[in-house]
Chain A
Amino acid sequence: MRVFLSVVKRDLRLAQRQGMDSIMVVAFFVIAVVLFPFGVGPEANILARISSGVIWVAALLAAMLSLERLFQIDYEDGSLELMALQPIPLEVVVMAKITAHWITTGLPLLVATPLLAVFMNLPNDGFWVLVLTLAIGTPSLSLIGAIGAALILGSRRGGVLLSLLVLPLYIPVLIFGVSAIDGAISGLTVNAHLLIMSGLLVAALPLCPWASAGAIRQALET
Chain B
Amino acid sequence: MALFAGKNLLCYRGERTVFADLSFRCETGEALVLRGPNGTGKSTLLRLMAGLLKAHEGRLSWEGEDITEEPEEHNARLHYVGHADAVKSVLNVKENIAFWAELRGPSVKLTEALDAFGIAYLADVPGRFLSAGQKRRVNLARIIASPAKLWLLDEPTTALDASAVADLQREIARHRANGGMVIASTHAEIGLADANVLNMDAFQLRIDAA
Within 8 A of B (CB), among A59-102: 76-79, 81-89
Is the beta-carbon distance between A3 and B53 smaller than 8 angstroms? Answer: no
Partner of A77, one of B72, B85, B103, B106: B85
Is the beta-carbon distance between A85 and B78 smaller than 8 angstroms? Answer: yes
- Minimum Cβ distance to chain B for residue A118 (Å): 36
Is the beta-carbon distance between B84 and A78 smaller than 8 angstroms? Answer: yes
Asked whether A86 and B103 contact (CB < 8 A) given A14-B88, A77-B88, the answer is yes
Residue of B whose beta carbon sits closest to that of A82:
B86
The bracket for how many chain A residues form the interface is 20 to 34
Interface of A is mostly: helix
Partner of B86, one of A7, A79, A221: A79
Is the beta-carbon distance between A81 and B75 smaller than 8 angstroms? Answer: no
Is the beta-carbon distance between B53 and A85 smaller than 8 angstroms? Answer: no
- Minimum Cβ distance to chain A for residue B82 (Å): 6
Is the beta-carbon distance between B90 and A85 smaller than 8 angstroms? Answer: no
Mark B20-52 against chain A: 1 for CB-CB distance below 8 A, else 0: 000000000000000000000000000000111
Residue of B whose beta carbon sits closest to that of A2:
B106
- Minimum Cβ distance to chain B for residue A73 (Å): 9
In the bound complex, residues from chain A placing their C-beta under 8 Å from that of B102 are 2-3, 6
Is the beta-carbon distance between A81 and B82 smaller than 8 angstroms? Answer: yes
In the bound complex, residues from chain B placing their C-beta under 8 Å from that of A86 are 75, 103-104
Residues of A within 8 A of B (CB): 2-3, 6-7, 10, 13-14, 17-18, 76-79, 81-89, 220-221
Residues of B within 8 A of A (CB): 50-54, 72-73, 75-76, 78, 80, 82-88, 90-91, 95, 99-100, 102-104, 106
Instruction: Name 19 extra pairs, CB < 8 A, besides A78-B86, A85-B52, A87-B72.
Output: A2-B102, A2-B106, A3-B102, A6-B99, A10-B91, A13-B91, A77-B84, A77-B86, A78-B85, A81-B86, A82-B80, A85-B50, A85-B75, A87-B73, A87-B103, A87-B104, A88-B72, A88-B103, A89-B72
